[in-house]
Amino acid sequence: MADYATVTDIINLKRPLTAAEQTRAGYLLPVVSDAIRYEAQKVGMDFDAMIAVDTVLATVAKAVTVDVVMRELNTPGAQLPATQYSEGAGGINQSYTLPNASGRIALWPSDLKSLGLRRQQISSLPLWGGLKGCE
């Protein structure tokens, strides 16, 4: 099974990478691609078969793979994991939320939605009337 993106895709779609980043991206690409396959399996889909018949979905898979790899490459590895922090001076406060502070390779809900692997579902249960014994 092929990866959904290449190091060249990352360079062309995002930014130039250092030699160390290119090496690291090469290791991350199969991990991210398999994470997508696993998420598809969890909802009963064969993602490789889906992209074989839908070139648009293949392009979306490439974009999502590149985004996830870039999140990982842009996560500073020397800092302690934190999701948010704030600082202030005088009467001015500023708060920050870090996108991937833990460095964990994960697909975000927005990634899954882009891939068609997450859909919102609304269902209801009538509380009065229609239930036996409640009439």
Q: Tens of pLDDT along 20-54?
A: 999 999 999 999 999 999 999 998 899 999 999 99
Domain of residue 87: give its range: 7-114
Number of domains the chain is built from: 1
- Residues 102-119 pLDDT 10s: 567 888 888 999 999 875
Residue 78: pLDDT band with limits 50, 70, 90: low
Helix (H) or strand (E) holding 97: strand 92-97
Question: Is the whole model's pTM more than 0.85, yes or no?
Answer: no
Please enumerate in sequence order all residues whose Cβ is within 8 A of that of 47, keeping only pairs 6 or more positions apart, or say none: 36, 37, 40, 61, 115, 117
- Confirm whether 134 is domain-assigned: no
Residue 89: pLDDT band with limits 50, 70, 90: confident
- Confirm whether 102 is domain-assigned: yes
**Phi, then psi, of 87 in degrees rounded to 5:** -145, 155
